[in-house]
Amino acid sequence: MAEKTDVLKVMAFATNMMMESQPPEFRWRGAPLAKHWGRISDAIEQGAPVNWTSFCGSPEIFRAMGIPSIMQDEVGLFCAMFPGKLNEKYIDIAHEHLVADHVCSAQKIMIGATLCGDMPPPTMIVHAGQPCDSTLVTYSAISQYLGVPLLTLDIPGGRDERVVQYVADELERMVAFIEEHTGRKLEDDKLKEVMEYSNAAHDYSLKVNELTKLVPCPLPRMLATPLMDSAGTPEALEMYRNLYEIGRAVVEIGKGYVPNQKIRAGLFSTWVSADVPLFDWLEQEFGVMVINTMLGTDTTRPTEDLSSRRKIMEGLARKQLNAPMGRECWASIDHWFDYAVSTCREWKLDVVLMTLHIGCKNMWAVQKLFRDKIADELGIPVLIVEVDFFDGRVFSSEGIRAHISDFFNTMMA
Amino acid sequence: MRALEELVELAEAPYNDTVKDWKEKGGKVVGFICSYIPEEILHAGGILPYRLSPTGCTETTEADAYMSHFNCTFARCCLQFALKGEYDFLDGIVLMNSCDHLRRLYDNWKYSVGCPYMHYLNVPHRVGEGPEGWYKDELTMYKESVEEAFAVKITEESLANSISTYNRIRGLLKKVYELREREKPPIKGSEMMKVLVAGYRCPTEKYEQLLEKLLSELEKEEGISDYPARLMLMGSACDRPDFVQAIEDAGGLVVADTLCFGSRYFWNMVETGGDPISALAKSYLNNPSCARMTGNEPERWDFAMQMLQRFKVDGIICQRLRWCDLWGGETFYIGEKIKGLDIPFLLLEREQWLSGEEQLKTRVQALAEVIEGRRK
């Protein structure tokens, strides 16, 4: 019998590993994530409810109900970073069980880990039905396989007030579902307390955004935001507060955090967890500073009106609809265009990078429209590189770097 | 000419004579993409609903520049046809959030092709009261946009009449399918696919007449007896009679399906007697479902099992379009369910055009041999 791997320990290990790759003065940035994994491990040990979720959810509600959630994309990400090539093992298992090879590898890693028993089953699966078909279908399939209750929030593609009200209704349905399946109640006082932490962290996150717009950029790149899974926690607030204060201090000195910032880049896709040092290489080799990333730059607004549960649900719905990835992938391209154009302008970007994931069909489907929009309207070059975020076997690091080198060598010639 | 021959002719050309006649008489034609979009609304406005089905598309050079080779060839073929002017006869299009590829087809069409009338429907991904209410509102806005764009009035009465017309079509198609339950089915699966495709590009009244004629002709047929296995098709959108033909050439007879271009399109009637928009919203959302819908996987599987039993199926072929993530994930679920059944199963991956025909035939032959072997 094959030896079992405790995926949750792998997550904690990979988190530390990731933090060690950061400059020493910024390693504390991993604290929210480390606590997140700790909460999940504790819940499993105590037999308490654990949920599986996806990007673009509302972690505040789970936090207020004391239910930790594992985000399947994070499992994919950290397994891909882990030296033991667990990602490859799990992906192969998923393929053996008829999951198509073109389905997003993040989901395949979660499925494979579950099928071989490395990932303990959750109490329930409650997730947002965005940003892609892969997310939508694989959660349904795995819930059937495990026999655990499933709730998929129905998220329309529009972004107007009618959609906000519909998603707020969906969130209320979600609360009732969680209460039914866990026996826990959502207390209004607790929700409000969590929302206050969430709002405070968001305020700092928006201030951090303003700092990263400065030239030179006073902070190191941030590839993913802890607000996706740790919103509403004291540690997320602490992290953003520290980040803001350090950034402000660096501004006062009058220097950029990374020296030799020749090119300001925006990463309008996710990073490549199968090649973690890629962006260090980019900085060192070409002086390309990634100052804005799809998952690291949260532009959602805090929920200002906390006067009633309904108002909070509406605020959370607005956040979901503008959350990273949902913002780009689930709404019409006009919504993405608006965001992308304003981001390029506000962050004074010199170049847009798109390390486009093979599993991300909806981004691939509009790559020309996107490139033309940015290049024609703003005169900013766009580099599109084929990658598999979580499986280095599909496109090699050497090939990816050669592609990027060609682009920047030409641009700088 | 026999009805089947007439229907085959209609199916073979995207811009066939019936559509040409319609246009020449000043009629409007609006393309739609998915079985979740009710044709009744266009029909009630006196507009010809035309389901996009890129028959004859064999390459996607121009579309690939807009989309990518990681997108499904059904979507790319639709865009290719639009870019090459094959759909210039359309006065409008109605697309929806069927899947990642078709959602983005709308964006590409809007920016790279354009069309006098374009509408996008946000169709819920689950069933229930909330989604039905949402979809009712979507359909109401859609109806109003059709009225405004084409200067027509769609009344409750005209909509109710259109529902009745389409219900008659549904009833006729179901009767034709029921003939395939026979031990000697009077029509091949590939022919049935042509009959269905013809209906997506033909005025309803004409199609109804042809179906009535077809039914009376088929009822007198002796039927097909020299086939080794009765097969059922399931999976991604499939509008390709040549693909079904290739399967049948290899030895099986396709007697049933759970496809959106097939049985799922017409299996359930739309309720009559109440508010027509509410009835459309309810019926279309609750039809036997696509993998885009969540939370009703058991019902989706139950429908497949009902078809399996009803049509006395010997083997299942699940075909999925390359890059179709909905069915690429759903096959995991199907694979697990199949384990509990004693029935041969074959998973095929395909493109919108027929390719790898010999390999396909070899695999279907192997399936047919397994089925024959079980009989001995």
Is residue A43 a part of any domain in this protein?
yes
What are B292-305's pLDDT values in tens digits? Answer: 999 999 999 999 99
Whole-number pLDDT of residue A57: 87
Segment A116-131 mean pLDDT: 95
How close does chain A come to B295, measured CA to CA in Å?
A: 7
Subunit contact B107:A365, Cβ cutoff 8 A: yes
Give Cα separations from B290 to A141, A149, A402 (angstroms): 13, 20, 41
**Tokens read off for A61:** 């509600």
Is residue A389 a part of any domain in this protein?
no
Burial degree of B52 (CB within 10 A; 0-12, 13-18, 19+): buried
| A24 has pLDDT over 80 | no
Burial degree of B140 (CB within 10 A; 0-12, 13-18, 19+): middle
Strand partners for A265: A290, A351
Subunit contact A137:B329, Cβ cutoff 8 A: yes
Subunit contact B328:A97, Cβ cutoff 8 A: no
What are A180-197's pLDDT values in tens digits? Answer: 999 999 999 999 999 999
ipTM, two decimals, is 0.96
Confidence of residue A272 (pLDDT cuts 50, 70, 90): confident
Whole-number pLDDT of residue A74: 86
- Measured between CB atoms, which of B134, B291, B325 is closest to A166? B134
The CA-CA-CA angle for residues A30, A32, A33, to 5°, reads: 65
Is residue A144 a part of any domain in this protein?
yes
What are A124-146's pLDDT values in tens digits? Answer: 999 999 999 999 999 999 999 99
Subunit contact A169:B130, Cβ cutoff 8 A: yes
Segment A68-95 mean pLDDT: 90
Chain B contact for A4 (CB, 8 A cutoff): no
For residue B126, list chain A residues with Cβ-Cβ distance below 8 A: 129, 152, 154
Is residue A58 a part of any domain in this protein?
yes
Q: What is the pLDDT of chain A when averaged over all its residues?
A: 92
CATH, range B16-154: 3.40.50.11890
For residue B125, list chain A residues with Cβ-Cβ distance below 8 A: 129, 136, 152, 154-155
For residue A333, list chain B residues with Cβ-Cβ distance below 8 A: 104, 107, 111
| B50 has pLDDT over 80 | yes
For residue B101, list chain A residues with Cβ-Cβ distance below 8 A: 361-362, 365
What are B87-114's pLDDT values in tens digits? Answer: 999 999 999 999 999 999 999 999 999 9
How close does chain A come to B13, measured CA to CA in Å?
A: 27
Cβ contacts below 8 Å, chain A against chain B, sum to 160
Domain count, chain A: 1
Give the count of beta carbons closer than 10 Å to the beta carbon of residue B261. Answer: 19
Q: Which amino acid is at B100?
A: D
Residue span of the structural domain in which A120 resides: 7-185
Task: Determine the angle formed by the axes of helices A309-321 and A188-212, rounding to 10 degrees.
Answer: 30
| B216 has pLDDT over 80 | yes
Segment B161-165 mean pLDDT: 98
Confidence of residue A18 (pLDDT cuts 50, 70, 90): confident
Nearest residue on chain B to A112, alpha-carbon basis: B332
Subunit contact A157:B103, Cβ cutoff 8 A: yes
H helix runs in B227-293, sequence order = 241-249, 263-266, 276-286
Distance CA A294, CA B113 (A): 29
Nearest CA to A306 out of A226, A206, A190 is that of A190
Segment A405-412 mean pLDDT: 94
Chain B contact for A338 (CB, 8 A cutoff): no
Whole-number pLDDT of residue A303: 95
- Measured between CB atoms, which of A144, A162, A170 is closest to B297? A144
Task: Determine the angle formed by the axes of helices B325-338 and A133-146, rounding to 10 degrees.
Answer: 10
Nearest residue on chain A to B113, alpha-carbon basis: A369
Chain B contact for A172 (CB, 8 A cutoff): no
Confidence of residue A277 (pLDDT cuts 50, 70, 90): confident
Give the count of beta carbons closer than 10 Å to the beta carbon of residue B223. Answer: 13
**Tokens read off for B22:** 């319609």
Whole-number pLDDT of residue A2: 64
DSSP state of A190: H
Whole-number pLDDT of residue A149: 97
| H/E segment holding residue B348 | strand B345-350
C-alpha radius of gyration, chain B, whole number:
20
Backbone angles phi, psi at B319, to 5 degrees: -110, 135
Confidence of residue B224 (pLDDT cuts 50, 70, 90): very high
Is residue A121 a part of any domain in this protein?
yes
Is residue A364 a part of any domain in this protein?
no
| A1 has pLDDT over 60 | no
Is residue A226 a part of any domain in this protein?
no
Subunit contact A367:B67, Cβ cutoff 8 A: yes
What are A322-368's pLDDT values in tens digits? Answer: 998 999 999 999 999 999 999 999 999 999 999 999 999 999 999 99
What distance lies between CA A307 and its chain's CA centroid? 29
Whole-number pLDDT of residue B251: 83
What are A224-251's pLDDT values in tens digits? Answer: 777 788 899 999 999 999 999 999 999 9
- Measured between CB atoms, which of A103, A154, A368 is closest to B125? A154
Confidence of residue B152 (pLDDT cuts 50, 70, 90): very high
Q: What is the pLDDT of chain B when averaged over all its residues?
A: 97
Subunit contact B335:A138, Cβ cutoff 8 A: no
Subunit contact B106:A332, Cβ cutoff 8 A: yes
How close does chain B come to A350, measured CA to CA in Å?
A: 24
Subunit contact B332:A138, Cβ cutoff 8 A: yes
- High-pLDDT (> 70) share of chain B, %: 100
| B332 has pLDDT over 70 | yes
Burial degree of A144 (CB within 10 A; 0-12, 13-18, 19+): middle
Whole-number pLDDT of residue A72: 85
Give the count of beta carbons closer than 10 Å to the beta carbon of residue A277. Answer: 11
How close does chain A come to B331, measured CA to CA in Å?
A: 6
Confidence of residue A31 (pLDDT cuts 50, 70, 90): confident
- High-pLDDT (> 70) share of chain A, %: 99
Q: What CATH code is carried by the domain that includes residue A139?
A: 3.40.50.11890
